[in-house]
Amino acid sequence: MKIFTPHRMGTARSTHSTARYARGSAHSIRNGPVNALDRALRKGLGAFYPQLDAVHLVDYKVRILDGGSATGAKTRVVIDSVAGGDAWSTMGVGENIISASALALADSLEYALLKGDAAVARRSERSVPGSR
pLDDT for res 4: 43
The answer to whether 92 and 101 are in contact (CB under 8 A) is yes
CA atoms within 13 A on the CB side of 104: 27
Domain range summary for the chain, segments of one domain joined by +: 4-118
CA atoms within 13 A on the CB side of 72: 2
pTM of the model: 0.69
Mean pLDDT by 10 residues, the chain (132 residues): 42 44 50 82 84 93 88 92 94 92 93 79 51 43
Q: Which residues of 66-85 are buried (b: 16+ CB within 10 A; e: fewer)?
A: eeeeeeeeebbbbbbbebee
pLDDT for res 124: 53
CATH of the structural domain 4-118, one choice from 1.10.8.60, 3.30.160.270, 3.40.50.10490, 3.30.413.10: 3.30.160.270
pLDDT for res 108: 95
pLDDT for res 132: 42
**CA-based radius of gyration for the chain:** 15
pLDDT for res 70: 80
